[in-house]
Structure 1
Amino acid sequence: MVLATGASVAFSANAAEINIYSDRQAFLLKPILDAFTKETGIKVKVVFAKKGIIQRLKSEGKNSPADLLLTSNVSNLNRAVDAGVTQAVNDSVINANVPAQYRDPDGHWFGLTTRARIIYASKDRIEPGSVTRYEDLAKPEFEGRVCTRKGDHTYNIALIGSMIAAHGEAEAKAWLEGVKNNLARKPQGNDRAQVKAVKEGVCDIAVGNSYYYGKMLNNEEQRAWAESVNLIYPNQDDRGTHVNISGMTMTKSAPHRDSAIKLMRFLTEDTAQRIYAEQNFEFPVKPGVTQNKLIEGWGQFKADQVSLAEVDKHRKRAAMMVNEVGYNQ
């Protein structure tokens, strides 16, 4: 694998190469792409950029050298579709490996890993069983006891979108107002900062992605934060826990389409699924793939079966709700 950052990189027109644009960090991709090259002889070049990839694809148009876009969050994938920089792929292998709720109905994007949006609850101050659903975050008894990052962050927008899908707009907005009223402080920081706030007694309940628990346990400074909380997979007695994805889409230009499809298939098969998920403490999107011992120790959970395409349809309305209830103020 060849990694480049920024805007300048020399891509080859060689059919035995694939060019990727990615906002996922290099360490997550390298072992998988190295394995793909070893198996197929096809080299893979990657441009990593935290922001601006979709705009770059639009600017390059039909002359873009990129074959695939790898990104995190279904909203990013749909933004690429909306920007007109993707093309549909209808492949029986990929479709068999990726459950329908984790791929675009029209074949423009496919999930690769999933992550759960979970509740972190203080071991000392939250009675087990008192918080079991997202809906519980709005209960009056938790006034001043909840911490989250900003409401308009893409992780929370997707969660709000899932609440709209489950309850409709009016009830979802009332829920969001309730959560806002229960905040212990102005929304700030990232997901790990919320767990740190629980450890420090700023709040008793936090919302965050599941993979951060693994990251904190493997960080000497942050291990105590993780050890101060219980993990709660919400809504196990009804619809299941909201999950999001990292995923892939083929670009509209895709100069190496056949080779790119080979890589897309490879990324959805058992070996790549296991490696990719383990790198970031995520869950494989393909059912039945073995997980590492640490993730298995978190227990099995039921995921919400609603299509992420359906959840993302509510993205704009969810963002409006955040402003309407003054969530970040």
Structure 2
Amino acid sequence: MKLSRFWKPFLASTALTIALAGCSGTNQNEANEEKEAAKPKTTENQEVNIYTARHYEADDAIYKKFTDETGIKVNVVKGEAEELIERLKREGESTQADLFVTVDGGVLANAKQNDILQPVTSDAIEKNVPENFRDADNNWIGLATRARIIAYSKERVKPEELSTYEDLTSDKWKGKLLVRSSTSLYNQSLLASFIELNGEEKAEEWAKGIVNNFARQPDGGDRDQAKAIAAGTGDVAIMNTYYVGLLANSEDPEEVKVADSLGVFFPNQETNGTHVNISGIGLTKHSKNKENAIELIEYVTSVEAQEYLSANNYEFPVNPDAKKPELLESWGEFKMQELNFDTLGEHNKKAIEIFNKTGWK
């Protein structure tokens, strides 16, 4: 059948329209696909796994806040630092852990030496945490610090009687000094810092002098030393600042009374400063969720998280822009020891030897 002159151009035009419509549909589909690809990826089923030696409610609350804000689930395995390091070594590439968290610069150095961590690169972290609170290779990042101070009875001791750690070995403190045992990592790192700053011989002399001035044989933790001051067993104690905060804000009225009876003194302000130790977080060598892990480090070192941690666990924030709670502010500024936290691990074995030699049990 022949087509009239009228139908030929009409059909040609219709065919062209259909073809263009087809192309338009294809282009539209491609555009939609590009839009979908450009959208942020869903956080559904995303997670980050932590092995931590810090067992604080404040940490758990910060992890929950992170999940609420990002949708990334935080799974936490708690244990002692040494056993977690050994577990990471044993698990190797099969580990599910993305982050390792612990207290003490020496332990963090040990984790690095055992090759279970990898460097972290992040502009946000470098902005949040000063260089002196980070590993030189960024294998670990500081989370918070605590100072090892002299707590004293406000009733029986005047602050002007106090000066240095070394002065605690003088006769005026004989039978009046309280401190926990040599198995305490806090005491081991304190003595390790003296080995680094003053040498082994002077560190041993100090440990011997402290033993001679014991009010009793070491017993219990730092809170127990504070309670012993309140009970009149001794007049001064070596302890960490954050325990004073925890006592002062306890739900137990008796613990609050203990805190009220204590003064806080930062020793060695005219010499090499007060000993400060650090908690830190590191990215594991075989992390399966690296981006999420780094995002969490950025979050926990942010001003918001640092202020929450300080206000609830009474540790000093590492982020210089974070405000301290009123109690910590009331203690004022203080001079810190200046040393590489790695040295706390380097001198740990020698510190234990000195404790054993001097009878500090």
TM (norm. structure 2) is 0.82
Q: How far off is 1:55 after superposition?
A: 2.2
AA in 2 matched with 1:286: N
The whole-number CA distance in structure 1 between the counterparts of 2:185 and 2:144 is 17
2:50 and 2:194 map into 1 onto residues whose CA distance is 34
Distance 2:340 2:132 in 1: 4
Corresponding position of 1:146: 177
- Aligned partner of 1:11 in structure 2 is none
Aligned with residue 248 of structure 1, among 281, 301, 306: 281
Q: Distance in 1 between matches of 2:229 and 2:269?
A: 23
Give the superposition deviation at 1:183. 0.8
Residue 160 of structure 1 and its aligned partner are, at CA, apart by 0.6
Paired amino acid for 1:18: V
Q: How many angstroms does 1:40 deviate by? A: 2.7
Secondary structure in 2 aligned to 1:274? helix
State the identity %. 39
Residue 227 of structure 2 aligns to a residue in which SS?
A: helix
| Range 165-174 or range 97-106, more displaced | 97-106
SS of the residue aligned with 2:161? coil
Cα displacement (A) at 1:300: 2.3
Contact 1:31/1:275 (8 A) holds in 2 = no
Deviation at 1:148, TM superposition (A): 0.4
Distance 1:232 1:261 in 2: 37
**Correspondent of 1:275 among 285, 308, 320:** 308
- Give matches, 1:67-216, under 5 Å: 67-216=98-247
Contact 1:26/1:48, CA 8 A, preserved across alignment:
no
Select which of 45, 48, 60 maps to 2:75: 45
Matched, 1:315 2:345: no
- Structure 1 position 256, deviation (Å): 0.9
- TM-fit CA distance, 1:15: 7.3
Q: Deviations over 1:270-289 (max 9, x none)?
A: 11111122221111011131
Cα deviation, 1:9-39, whole Å, max 9, x if unaligned, reads xxxxx87211111122252223322332333
Determine if contact 1:157/1:319 at 8 Å carries over to the other structure: yes
The residue aligned with 2:257 is 224
Higher gyration radius (CA): 2
Q: Structure 1 residues 77-86 or 283-292, which shifts more?
A: 77-86
Shift of 1:50: 4.3
The amino acid across from 1:47 in the alignment is V
Deviation at 1:85, TM superposition (A): 1.7
Change (3 A) 1:235 1:26: closer
Contact kept? 2:204, 2:354, Cα under 8 Å = yes
Q: Does the Cα contact within 8 Å between 2:55 and 2:78 map onto a contact in 1?
A: yes
Q: Which amino acid aligns with 1:300?
A: E
Structure 1: how far apart are the matches of 2:341 and 2:360?
Answer: 24
The AA in structure 2 aligned to 1:95 is E
Secondary structure class of the residue paired with 1:321: helix
Matched, 1:301 2:327: no
Q: In the superposition, relative to structure 1, how do residues 311 and 59 fare at CA in structure 2: closer, same or farther (>3 Å)?
A: closer
1:5 equivalent in structure 2: none
Q: Which amino acid is the alignment partner of residue 119 of structure 2?
A: A
Whole-Å separation in 2 of the counterparts to 1:319 and 1:103: 26
For residue 298 of structure 1, report the CA deviation from its aligned partner. 2.6
SS at match of 2:149: strand
1:124, distance to aligned residue in structure 2 (A): 2.0
Structure 2 alignment gaps of length 5 or more = 1-43
Post-superposition shift, 1:320? 1.2
For 1:164 and 1:110, the matched residues in 2 are separated by 24
Provide the rounded CA distance (Å) in 2 between the counterparts of 1:238 and 1:144: 26
Contact 2:146 2:241 (C-alpha < 8 Å) held by counterparts: yes
Match of 1:25 in 2: 55
Deviations 1:117-176 (A, max 9, x none): 010111122232111211111112211110100023100011111111221111111111
Q: Is the 8 A contact 1:103 1:309 kept in 2?
A: no
> Greater helix share, 1 or 2?
2
What TM-score does the superposition give when structure 1 sets the normalisation length?
0.90
Partner of 1:16: 46
Which structure 1 residue ranges, 4+ long, deviate > 4 Å from structure 2? none
| Distance in structure 2 (CA, Å) of the matches to 1:194 and 1:29 | 25
Deviations 1:26-64 (A, max 9, x none): 522233223323333322211223463222212211100
C-alpha spacing 1:50/1:315, structure 2 compared with 1 (3 Å): closer
1:229 & 1:253 partners in 2: Cα distance?
46
Query: Which residue identity lines up with residue 303 of structure 2 in the other structure?
Result: D
SS in 1 for 2:254: coil
| Contact 1:152/1:322 (8 A) holds in 2 | no
